[in-house]
Amino acid sequence: MAAIGENSKPEYSARIVQARAYDYEWPRQAPVANGLHTYATSDVSVVEIRTDIGITGYGVGRPRVGEREMRREFLSRLIGADATMTEAIWESLWSPKMSGRRGNETRALSSIDIALWDIKAKMAGLPLYRLLGGYRQRIPIYIAGGYYGKGKGLKELQAEFAQYAALGARAVKMKVGAVPIPEDLKRIAAVRQVIGDDIELLIDANCAYRYFEAISLSKQAEEYRVYWFEEPVQPDDYEGFAKIAAATAIPIAAGENEYTKHGFRDLIKTQAVAVLNPDVRYLGGVTEFMKVAAMAQAHGLDICPHGEQQAHLHVLAAIPNARLLEYYPQQIDPMAGKCFLYTPALNADGSVTVPEVPGAGLDPDFDALAPYQL
């Protein structure tokens, strides 16, 4: 088999001369909880890949045990490779037998793939979304919040969502699944009351339910005009997704814990999920994200990615079937909007404008991140 990129024309190549990652973690103002997990901190890993033509690419991942070690191993293999040969590099690193099919190894690969596409876009002198095809310059967002917290009752929940509405959000998301269903229904009703009828309301269980519990909640929540029900059951419970979708009018959203085009192929086959939530940092980077987006488009499905808004700006702006960008405010993450140099502000109409700078827009603000380096 030919070496990675050995047939590239020299004038088009960008040989990798250095590849490393920086890991950061910082405390939240207070711990937050979803249906299954509690988070006291937030984090990011920044991949930095330098080339022999003076262009540096940046990607993002998470500094979690396993992902960090796999990333370090993968980065060590890149020296001398042609950064423009993204398909070849992806295939050389993704090895189910040697590394694994899903999880930390694919997340590590994702962060590297994002950095390689950043290099390619910078070489072309184009924002990444234009290089990938270019479809829109503004993306509507939803603000993700509504976590559980100590001492957080209905009044505090309503005050939180009143803030989001005041920011201009036309859609908001809240957590369910950590308390009994009757209590969550009161929380849903309270949020709908404060945001009114003109703002879309999304709910997210983070896999907390069995399928019959999710059906019970969703049928009772229909009166509150819920826009979608995200991850009602565990990601491999395809039968559960199908049973829930057949029992309720609320569309099902899923996919943040799905990996590669193969996983999304199987999820799409269920015909139960109306909205796909791929995370470019998890499923296999830009290379896989664009393939999944095309598959979704062919099946009439929308893409609404999970997680870090900055990582998804350009891939969403490049595709016609993007619906919403997940957006975290500083109330949830104190470093939101501070980690990167080219972070767009929230527009008055509840959208963000993609930065017109060459690359993926992920050049980190190392000065702001420095106090939190691991």
Active site residues: 175, 306
Q: Is 70 in a helix, a strand, or coil?
A: helix
First to last CA, the chain: 38
Do 149 and 30 meet the contact criterion of CB atoms below 8 Å apart? yes
Computed on alpha carbons and rounded to an integer, the radius of gyration of the chain in Å comes to: 20
Record the tokens describing residue 285, joined without a space: 């980077």
Residue 346, strand partner residues: 352
- Rounded Cα–Cα distance for residues 204 and 209 (Å): 11
Q: Give Cα separations from 115 to 3, 282, 364 (angstroms).
A: 20, 14, 12
Record the tokens describing residue 196, joined without a space: 């009114």
- Rounded Cα–Cα distance for residues 74 and 92 (Å): 10
In degrees and rounded to multiples of 5, residue 139 shows phi and psi of -125, 125
Three-state secondary structure string covering 14-66? CEEEEEEEEEEEEEEEEEEECCCCEEEEEEEEEEEEEECCCCEEEEEECCCCC
Phi-psi region of 32 (alpha: psi -120 to 50; beta: other; left: phi over 0): beta
Sequence length of the chain is 374
Do 348 and 110 meet the contact criterion of CB atoms below 8 Å apart? no
Q: Give Cα separations from 257 to 59, 107, 271, 279, 294 (angstroms).
A: 19, 11, 18, 8, 19
Q: If you write DSSP's letter for every residue of 271-309 in order, what string do you get? A: S--SEE---TTTTTHHHHHHHHHHHHHHTT-EE---S-H
